[in-house]
């Protein structure tokens, strides 16, 4: 009877499956394994996010315009209220309004001079809208390269530890360099991919604003030609 009890207890212990302890790693610890390269990548990613948000605010303001803007400009010009038209452009404060404001100040001069003045202002406004795009493109292309630099330095560290260990090679000696090599690659790709998508989105938004500016310019030039056509 005692033997049966001991056997049963032993069987119960054998049937109990011990759950292995699984260690997890969070993003902060993972970034720490990446070394100093991750600091550079974090700064680049934060800078790209800042440029992206700041440009979104600027582009949103650039596309903000009253749909009746051109109709009001047409009425003011036909009525000879040039000052009212200029005030409306200043209040609207958009790239298109700045271009039309410059054109209004050139009314009375040859049409070619008016068009050149409007186009010059348009080029300046486009330059303002494209501010930060070069930096964004540089981050998109440079971040993965910096990540690959961390990969190379991590592998060098791993081989250095292996050489110094001699015949007593332990996997723990290699883990630090391998961690740095893999994590910096991931960090560089994450920063580069995020900057690339942000860059392409900003390019699309700028093109939309430029198209709107061109449409407003054509409408304004047609407006100036209306009296001549009516004659």
- The stretch 187-200 carries a mean pLDDT of 93
Q: Which residues, in sequence order, are CB contacts of 64 under 8 Å at separation 6+?
A: 94
Q: Domain residues of the chain, as ranges? A: 34-230
**150 compared with 4, residue with greater pLDDT:** 150
pLDDT of 23 reads 54
**24 compared with 128, residue with greater pLDDT:** 128
Q: How does 53-74 read in b/e, with b if 16+ C-beta sit within 10 Å?
A: eebeebbeebeebeeebbeebb
CA–CA separation, 147 vs 160, rounded Å?
20
pLDDT of 141 reads 92
- 91 by Cβ neighbours in 10 Å (0-12 / 13-18 / 19+) ranks as exposed
Specify the DSSP class assigned to residue 94: S
How far are the Cα atoms of 37, 38, 62, 197 from residue 208, in angstroms, in the given order? 37, 36, 10, 17
- The stretch 173-187 carries a mean pLDDT of 74
pLDDT of 107 reads 84
Q: What percent of the chain has pLDDT over 70?
A: 77
**pLDDT range class, residue 27, cuts 50, 70, 90:** low
Q: Note the pTM of the prediction, 2 decimals.
A: 0.75
Chain-centroid distance of CA 109 in Å reads 43
Q: What is the pLDDT of residues 52-98, one digit of tens each?
A: 999 999 988 888 877 788 888 888 888 888 888 889 888 888 888 88
Residue among 194, 206, 149, 200 nearest 47 (CA): 194
46 pLDDT higher than 90: yes
Give the residues across from 107 on adjacent strands.
Answer: 109
CA–CA separation, 113 vs 163, rounded Å?
75
196 pLDDT higher than 90: yes
**pLDDT range class, residue 14, cuts 50, 70, 90:** very low
Q: What does residue 39 show for φ and ψ, rounded to 5 degrees? A: -65, -45
200 pLDDT higher than 90: yes
122 pLDDT higher than 70: yes
| Both structure tokens of 170 | 């332990």
CA–CA separation, 128 vs 200, rounded Å?
17
- Are 47 and 139 in contact by the 8 Å Cβ rule? The answer is yes
pLDDT of 180 reads 72
Sole residue written with tokens 């994590």: 183
């Amino acid at each position: 009877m005692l033997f049966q009890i001991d056997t049963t207890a032993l069987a119960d212990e054998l049937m109990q499956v011990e759950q292995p302890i699984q260690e997890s790693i969070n993003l902060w610890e993972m970034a720490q394994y990446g070394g100093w390269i991750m600091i550079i990548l974090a700064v680049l990613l934060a800078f790209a996010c800042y440029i992206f948000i700041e440009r979104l605010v600027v582009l949103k303001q650039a596309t903000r315009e009253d749909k009746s803007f051109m109709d009001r400009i047409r009425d003011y010009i036909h009525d000879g209220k040039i000052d009212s038209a200029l005030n409306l452009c200043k209040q609207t404060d958009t790239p298109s309004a700045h271009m039309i404001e410059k054109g209004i100040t050139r009314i009375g001069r040859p049409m070619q001079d008016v068009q050149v003045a409007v186009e010059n202002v348009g080029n300046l406004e486009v330059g303002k809208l494209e501010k930060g795009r070069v930096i964004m493109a540089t981050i998109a292309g440079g971040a993965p390269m910096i990540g690959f630099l961390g990969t190379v330095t991590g592998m060098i560290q791993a081989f250095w530890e292996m050489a110094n260990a001699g015949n007593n090679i332990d996997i723990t000696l290699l883990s630090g360099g391998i961690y740095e090599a893999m994590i910096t690659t991931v960090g560089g790709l994450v920063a580069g991919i995020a900057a690339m998508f942000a860059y392409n989105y900003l390019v699309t938004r700028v093109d939309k604003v430029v198209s709107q500016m061109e449409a407003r310019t054509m409408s304004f030039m047609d407006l100036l030609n209306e009296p001549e056509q009516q004659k």
